[in-house]
RNA sequence: GGGCGAUUAGCUCAGUUGGUUAGAGCGCCUCUCUGAUAAGGAGGAGGUCCCAGGUUCGAAUCCUGGAUCGCCCA
């Protein structure tokens, strides 16, 4: 096999560019799908991003996790079609265009023209398409972007219409008047999952308002004042009712300085009135005693009669608590879910004096035209002036804001279209139950909780750029849902090329029931419904490719950030359940947030965004991927720093690369003759098999973290043990060593292919793994594993570690050979150490290993109870058992147990038999020996150094000095040299005594001893002159 | 206010069904090795396993309460 020049300092980013080019030239991605045609499908759904912003590091995170499992499954023999997708509709897009065009409201948009506006939206969603495509390719995310689905395509919209009609036909779509979170700036209602994204901690003014009781009622006397509390002062303007909890106890209280007695919940008297002055409780009574009491509204704008009989009275309501406030809640019917239910329950009219732009209408007198939030201050002033204000205090709480434009939301009763998901709650829960979540706690935690409390899906948006709600209505109020473009054409005679607004708005047809003209309702739908429909809409099913859709349903795997729990994950489950009675995916991997290195959320305003290109240019895509896969479990989120990526390069990728470079440096061009496979060869191959098995098992469980770490552990063993221990065999061209190393590296390149596809493929190519790419190879099978060999090597390496530790403590450097290491070991341990005695001797640089069966020669044993073994057996008596064991004659017991015998202990008058597994033996070192111990296993060193050992050390020092000289001279590692030495006579004497050894080590074909020139070095204070000549 | 998750060395993270001396990597210090590797090896410094109770012979691990952080929701 030909040697291939490998630069140990290869730049990975540069290498990746070459690999990318090779993939393009050989069409590897397409081939990886072609070659699996007809094989079982592994189905991946791409959660579509919107390309109206530059992709960031969090997109890299999502995209590499979307990549790793499809690559793995392809190698496992599955056909993995990877259709890309783009989300193109929705408020985020509109907001961006509004900003670019300087539009400030819906009125502005309509003045600008819906057609032109939507055209801008259409273009805007692909503004950064090139950036997305470039980054996607560069990070090695294999996805088919040429055939990507786009939610704006007429076919896609048509599939969404079809889905809506199915749901419509089940009677699950209705128009309701509900209190919805409403953004006055965007002029639209928000779905609960959108509201969820916009909570912010803000300080509002909370007010305590006194409302005078109009007439005697039960315990109340006319003129008494009900104290209500609200964090939204403007809601006092349209106040219609006061709610109390009939179960709570209320108090009528005289407060110093107050003109009339006040009424608050008894439990809150101290908190509300504590610092108001002296307080005297005049009487207490249940909330039910207050029900029906009439009071005078604080503002006159909406008359009691307008709300109807029963307005401006006290009503009982279970939602009132004594947790905060006063226990009396002011209720403005249109502005809260509880308020609405209470008002409607009381038979009052729903009066909403707030316009869609968030300002009061003409009914509110001087407040007309004023933004509701801006009215707060004036309301407080007027209440105060009228003597109705008890107190106004700042109040910090978490309040929902519009997730795109940050405007505080208003809760607001308005007509809106809904999907009645609450009616299929049980099916939704069953669908969720069938999903394997990673991490698992999402199922019954976040998602389960969400579904448990599921409310109807607010489907409609009073906006422009989205899938139009396909509901037409006539003047008599009949409605008709259109399920396809063809149906629309049949009814209207219009063949729409573009189903978006405004074109679709112009299409009308006679009502099938009354023949009056039907017009489409003005709304578009929630963009999340688009993405939830992607399982079929991406194929334009059921209008075409029905077969393909069925083959690709459900997905085996989807992956997005955790915030999609109530976003795409929910819309997938909901749409899937409504149409097919199941979730459209089986495994979901959730990804956490990426924080900066200080643990702060990345944001443009803080300027702590990590640009993906910077990381890629500096370290490469493999490094970026490796960091995301292996640094931690992805759902816990990342505390990102470039240095952490660099560490992965240094400790893993470079280590791997240098092992590969080492092979290419030394691999002989021809066979060096027959040699034997060694124990080390069999050991590393067993390690390899174990690693293949583990990585396979972990990846099958969608666990990139621990599979990646298993590969890293193997590569470390390969580099730092197998290769290091076998260097001599590599220098001499032992074919088994090369064969073994090649096998390991090729298999590693396969295991690594899903993780770091670039470097993996380069190794495969360089080692001639076969075919056009590692990505076209079949996933390796785990081979035979010699467990005994693995265990023996572990013991041998422990022994080395202990020996090195003893050497470190002895302060005798490793180049100084020592006579013997005394090893305490018996049975299987001793056999293992003998098996690898040569390795151990070399590592420790000792002439011989001597075994002693017991510790007697090196120290004494101490005996301890093995709690894990004895605990379950003795329970409460453990302390006595432990004491009894420690009181035994340890040396004697050690001998008995070593021979497989048992010993008896007496605990609380009863005899118990103990075996070797019930106790642990620990060495206690004797003075004068350098002993390292671990359990019953120990290594001691004989520190005596005679002249021979010292000479040998000097010879090794000479070797090292000559190697240094070779390196300084810039020779290649295989260059042969003529060596001349001179200097101190004693030193030269030692060197002469080991001439053969020295010559062999430094590849000298000749050695001369009377050198007067050359570089001078000092060894143990003695002078040595060296000159080296390449021959 | 509720739900979910997190909290272990200066930093990033492991820690099996509870088992008695809590680990790794990075960084720092000392030493060492080097015929691939800004690599490797040995040692050192560095810990109230967030706090407080409880269960248990035994708790980083299980339970309860609390704190802090994050996410989600009222």
Q: Is the Cβ atom of A875 within 7 Å of strand B at any atom?
A: yes
Find where tokens 């004497």 sit: A989
pLDDT bracket for residue A927 (50, 70, 90) = very low
The C1' atom of B64 and the CA atom of A555 lie apart, in whole Å, by 42
Beta strand spans in A434-482 (E): 436-438, 457-458, 460-461, 471-474, 479-481
Q: Is the Cβ atom of A920 within 7 Å of strand B at any atom?
A: no
**A23, A66, A73, A87: the active-site residue:** A87
Mean pLDDT of A794-805: 84
Whole-number mean pLDDT of chain A? 87
Measured distance CA(A202)–CA(A200) in Å, rounded: 6
Measured distance CA(A76)–CA(A697) in Å, rounded: 12
Kindly tell me the number of DSSP H helices and DSSP E strands found in chain A: 40, 38
Q: How many CB atoms lie within 10 A of CB A902?
A: 13
The C1' atom of B71 and the CA atom of A827 lie apart, in whole Å, by 55
The burial of A497, by beta-carbon neighbours within 10 Å (0-12 exposed, 13-18 middle, 19 or more buried), is given as exposed
pLDDT at A349: 84
pLDDT at A674: 60
Q: Which of A201, A222, A366, A216 is nearest to A299 (CA)?
A: A366
Q: Is the Cβ atom of A319 within 7 Å of strand B at any atom?
A: no
More confident residue, A856 or A536: A536
pLDDT of residue A879 exceeding 90, the answer is no
Q: Which of A651, A663, A636, A649 is nearest to A743 (CA)?
A: A663
Beta bridge partners of A264: A251
pLDDT at A799: 85
Measured distance CA(A973)–CA(A666) in Å, rounded: 10
Instruction: Decide if A167 contacts A337 (C-beta within 8 A).
Output: no
Q: Is the Cβ atom of A638 within 7 Å of strand B at any atom?
A: yes
pLDDT bracket for residue A857 (50, 70, 90) = low
Residue A480: what are its φ and ψ, rounded to 5°?
A: -145, 130
The C1' atom of B34 and the CA atom of A776 lie apart, in whole Å, by 39
Measured distance CA(A408)–CA(A388) in Å, rounded: 27
pLDDT bracket for residue A816 (50, 70, 90) = confident
Measured distance CA(A160)–CA(A84) in Å, rounded: 18
Q: Is the Cβ atom of A607 within 7 Å of strand B at any atom?
A: no
The C1' atom of B72 and the CA atom of A124 lie apart, in whole Å, by 31
Buried b / exposed e along A5-26 (16+ C-beta atoms within 10 A): ebeeebebbebbeebbebbeee
The C1' atom of B74 and the CA atom of A773 lie apart, in whole Å, by 54
Measured distance CA(A95)–CA(A463) in Å, rounded: 11
Measured distance CA(A692)–CA(A46) in Å, rounded: 28
Instruction: Decide if A527 contacts A459 (C-beta within 8 A).
Output: no
A726-736: pLDDT as tens digits: 888 888 888 88
pLDDT bracket for residue A923 (50, 70, 90) = low
**Of chain A residues 454-513, which have a beta carbon within 7 Å of strand B?**
none
**A146, A604, A872, A876: the active-site residue:** A604
**What is the secondary structure of A366-386 as a DSSP string?**
GGBT-BTGGGHHHHHHHHHHT
Spell out the residues 6+ positions from residue A207 whose beta carbon is closer than 8 angstroms to its own: A229, A230, A233, A236, A379, A380, A383, A389, A391, A392
Strand, coil or helix: what is A294?
Answer: strand
Measured distance CA(A375)–CA(A673) in Å, rounded: 94
In the complex, which nucleotide's C1' lies nearest to the CA atom of residue A974? B35
Beta bridge partners of A360: A354, A368
More confident residue, A346 or A383: A383
A972-994: pLDDT as tens digits: 877 888 899 988 888 888 889 99
Q: Is the Cβ atom of A593 within 7 Å of strand B at any atom?
A: yes
More confident residue, A523 or A9: A523
pLDDT of residue A358 exceeding 50, the answer is yes
pLDDT of residue A935 exceeding 60, the answer is no
Query: What kind and span of H or E run contains A801?
Result: helix A787-810
pLDDT of residue A891 exceeding 80, the answer is no
Q: Is A757 a catalytic residue?
A: no
pLDDT at A272: 80
Measured distance CA(A471)–CA(A478) in Å, rounded: 10
**Terminus-to-terminus CA distance in chain A, angstroms?**
27
Q: A120 to each of A89, A97, A100, how far by Cα in Å?
A: 12, 7, 10
pLDDT bracket for residue A2 (50, 70, 90) = very low
Measured distance CA(A436)–CA(A26) in Å, rounded: 37
pLDDT at A884: 84
**Of chain A residues 80-139, which have a beta carbon within 7 Å of strand B?**
none
Q: Is A233 a catalytic residue?
A: no
Mean pLDDT of A371-378: 89
pLDDT of residue A762 exceeding 60, the answer is yes
More confident residue, A584 or A287: A584
CA dihedral over A244, A250, A255, A259, signed as positive or negative: positive
The C1' atom of B14 and the CA atom of A537 lie apart, in whole Å, by 44
A12-53: pLDDT as tens digits: 999 999 999 999 999 999 999 999 999 999 999 999 998 888
Q: Is A87 a catalytic residue?
A: yes
Q: Is A872 a catalytic residue?
A: no
**Of chain A residues 665-724, which have a beta carbon within 7 Å of strand B?**
665-666, 705, 719-720, 723-724
pLDDT at A925: 56
Q: Which of A278, A311, A285, A305 is nearest to A211 (CA)?
A: A311
In the complex, which nucleotide's C1' lies nearest to the CA atom of residue A1003? B35
Nucleotides of B under 7 A from a protein CB: 1, 3-6, 11-14, 17, 19-21, 25-26, 31-43, 56-58, 69-74
pLDDT of residue A323 exceeding 50, the answer is yes
Query: What kind and span of H or E run contains A29?
Result: helix A28-34
Q: Is A606 a catalytic residue?
A: no
Mean pLDDT of A529-556: 95
Mean pLDDT of A849-870: 74
Find where tokens 């090794």 sit: A956
Beta strand spans in A709-752 (E): none
pLDDT bracket for residue A928 (50, 70, 90) = very low
Mean pLDDT lowest for which of A325-329, A425-429, A508-512, A750-754?
A325-329
Q: Is the Cβ atom of A450 within 7 Å of strand B at any atom?
A: yes
pLDDT at A13: 93
A958-976: pLDDT as tens digits: 988 888 888 888 888 778 8
Q: Assign residue A359 a region: left if phi > 0, alpha if psi is -120 to 50, beta otherwise? A: beta
Residue A416: what are its φ and ψ, rounded to 5°?
A: -160, 155
pLDDT of residue A671 exceeding 70, the answer is no
Measured distance CA(A363)–CA(A301) in Å, rounded: 6
Name the H helices within A887-1019: 890-898, 947-969, 985-993, 995-1002
The C1' atom of B56 and the CA atom of A898 lie apart, in whole Å, by 33
**Around A1030, how many Cα atoms within 13 Å sit in the side-chain half-sphere?**
10
A56-100: pLDDT as tens digits: 888 999 999 999 999 999 999 999 999 999 999 988 899 889 889
Instruction: Decide if A421 contacts A193 (C-beta within 8 A).
Output: no
The residue that minimises its CA distance to C1' of B30 is A808
Mean pLDDT of A438-463: 88
Beta strands at A937-941 and A818-824: parallel, antiparallel or unpaired? antiparallel
CA dihedral over A542, A544, A546, A552, signed as positive or negative: negative
Strand, coil or helix: what is A401?
Answer: strand
DSSP A652: I
Q: Which of A247, A271, A250, A245 is nearest to A261 (CA)?
A: A250
């Amino acid at each position: 096999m030909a040697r291939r020049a490998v630069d140990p300092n290869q730049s990975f980013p540069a290498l990746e560019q070459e690999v990318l080019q090779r993939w393009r030239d050989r069409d590897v991605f397409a081939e990886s799908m072609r070659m699996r045609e007809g094989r079982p499908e592994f189905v991946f759904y791409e959660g579509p991003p919107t390309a109206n912003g530059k992709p960031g590091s969090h997109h890299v995170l999502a995209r590499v996790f979307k990549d790793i499992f499809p690559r793995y499954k392809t190698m496992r023999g599955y056909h993995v079609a990877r259709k890309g997708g783009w989300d193109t509709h929705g408020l985020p897009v509109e907001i961006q265009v509004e900003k670019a065009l300087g539009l400030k409201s819906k009125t502005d948009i309509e003045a600008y023209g819906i057609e032109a506006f939507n055209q801008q939206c259409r273009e805007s969603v692909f503004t950064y398409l090139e950036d997305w495509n470039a980054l996607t390719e560069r990070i090695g995310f294999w996805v088919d972007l040429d055939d990507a689905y786009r939610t704006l395509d007429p076919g896609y919209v048509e599939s969404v219409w079809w889905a809506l009609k199915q749901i419509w036909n089940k009677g699950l779509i209705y128009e309701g008047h509900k209190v919805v979170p409403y953004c006055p700036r965007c002029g639209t209602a928000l779905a609960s999952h959108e509201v969820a994204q916009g909570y912010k901690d803000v300080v509002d003014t909370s007010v305590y308002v006194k409302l005078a009781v109009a007439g005697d009622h039960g315990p109340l006397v006319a003129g008494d004042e009900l104290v209500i509390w609200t964090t939204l002062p403007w809601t006092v303007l349209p106040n219609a009712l006061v709610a109390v909890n009939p179960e709570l106890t209320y108090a009528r209280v005289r407060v110093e300085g107050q003109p009339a007695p006040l009424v608050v919940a008894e439990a809150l008297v101290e908190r509300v009135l504590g610092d108001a002055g002296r307080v005297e409780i005049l009487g207490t009574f249940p909330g039910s005693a207050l029900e029906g009491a009439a009071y005078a509204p604080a503002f006159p704008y909406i008359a009691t009669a307008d709300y109807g009989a029963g307005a401006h009275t006290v009503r009982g309501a279970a939602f009132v608590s004594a947790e905060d406030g006063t226990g009396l809640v002011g209720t403005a019917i249109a502005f809260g879910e509880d308020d609405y239910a209470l008002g409607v329950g009381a038979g009052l009219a729903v009066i909403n004096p707030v316009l869609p732009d968030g300002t009061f209408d003409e009914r509110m007198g001087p407040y007309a035209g004023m933004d509701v939030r801006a009215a707060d201050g004036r309301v407080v002033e007027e209440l105060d002036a009228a003597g109705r204000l008890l107190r106004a205090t700042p109040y910090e709480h978490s309040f929902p804001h519009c997730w795109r434009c940050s405007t505080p939301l208003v809760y607001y009763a308005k007509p809106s279209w809904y999907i009645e998901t609450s009616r299929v709650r049980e099916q939704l829960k069953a669908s969720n139950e069938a999903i394997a979540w990673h991490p698992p706690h999402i199922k019954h935690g976040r998602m389960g909780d969400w579904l448990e409390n599921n409310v109807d899906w607010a489907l409609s948006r009073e906006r422009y750029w989205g899938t139009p709600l396909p509901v037409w209505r006539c003047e008599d109020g009949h409605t008709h849902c259109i399920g396809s473009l063809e149906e629309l054409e049949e009814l209207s005679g219009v063949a729409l090329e573009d189903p978006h607004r405004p074109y679709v708005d112009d299409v009308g047809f006679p009502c099938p029931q009354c023949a009056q003209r039907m017009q489409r309702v003005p709304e578009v739908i929630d963009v999340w419904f688009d993405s939830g429909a992607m399982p079929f809409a991406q194929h334009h099913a059921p209008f075409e490719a029905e077969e393909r859709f069925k083959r690709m349903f459900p997905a085996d795997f989807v992956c997005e950030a955790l915030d999609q729990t109530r976003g795409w994950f929910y819309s997938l489950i909901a749409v899937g359940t409504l149409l097919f009675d199941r979730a459209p995916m089986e495994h979901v991997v959730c990804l956490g947030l990426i924080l900066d290195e200080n643990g702060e959320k990345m944001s443009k305003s803080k300027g702590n965004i990590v640009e993906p290109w910077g990381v890629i240019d500096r370290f490469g895509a493999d490094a970026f991927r490796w960091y995301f896969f292996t640094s931690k479990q992805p759902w816990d989120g990342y505390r990102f720093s470039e240095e952490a990526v660099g560490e992965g390069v240094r400790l893993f990728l470079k280590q791997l690369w240098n092992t590969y470079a080492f092979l290419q440096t030394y691999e002989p061009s021809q066979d060096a003759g027959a040699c034997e496979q060694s124990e080390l060869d069999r050991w590393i191959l067993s390690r390899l098999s174990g690693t293949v098995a583990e990585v396979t098992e972990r990846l099958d469980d969608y666990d990139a973290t621990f599979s990646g770490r298993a590969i890293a552990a193997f590569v470390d063993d390969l580099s730092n043990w197998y290769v290091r221990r076998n260097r001599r065999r590599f220098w001499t061209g032992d074919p088994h060593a090369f064969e073994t190393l090649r096998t390991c590296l090729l298999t590693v390149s396969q295991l690594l292919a899903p993780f770091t596809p670039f470097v993996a493929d380069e190794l495969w190519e360089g080692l001639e793994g076969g075919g056009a790419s590692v990505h076209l190879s079949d996933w390796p099978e785990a081979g035979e594993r010699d467990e005994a060999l693995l265990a023996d090597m572990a013991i041998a390496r422990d022994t080395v570690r202990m020996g090195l530790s003893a050497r470190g403590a002895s302060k005798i450097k490793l180049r100084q050979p020592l006579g013997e290491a005394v090893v305490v070991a018996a049975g299987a341990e001793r056999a293992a150490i003998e098996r690898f005695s040569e390795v151990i001797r070399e590592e420790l640089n000792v002439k011989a290993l001597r075994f002693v069966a017991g510790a007697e020669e090196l120290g004494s044993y101490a005996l301890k109870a093995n709690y894990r073994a004895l605990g379950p057996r003795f329970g409460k008596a453990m302390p006595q058992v432990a004491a009894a064991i420690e009181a035994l004659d340890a040396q004697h017991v050690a001998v008995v147990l070593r021979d497989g015998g048992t010993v008896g202990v007496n605990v609380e008058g009863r005899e118990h038999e103990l075996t070797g597994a019930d106790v642990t033996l620990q060495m206690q070192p004797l003075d004068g020996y350098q002993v390292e111990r671990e359990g019953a296993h120990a290594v001691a060193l004989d520190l005596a150094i005679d002249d021979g050992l010292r000479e040998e050390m000097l010879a090794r020092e000479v070797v090292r000095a000559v190697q240094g000289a070779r390196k300084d001279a810039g020779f290649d590692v295989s260059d042969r040299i003529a060596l001349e030495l001179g200097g101190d006579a004693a030193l030269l004497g030692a060197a002469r005594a080991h001439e053969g050894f020295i010559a062999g080590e430094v590849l000298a074909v000749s050695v001369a001893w009377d050198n007067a020139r050359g570089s001078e070095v000092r060894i143990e204070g003695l002078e040595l002159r060296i000159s080296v000549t390449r021959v």
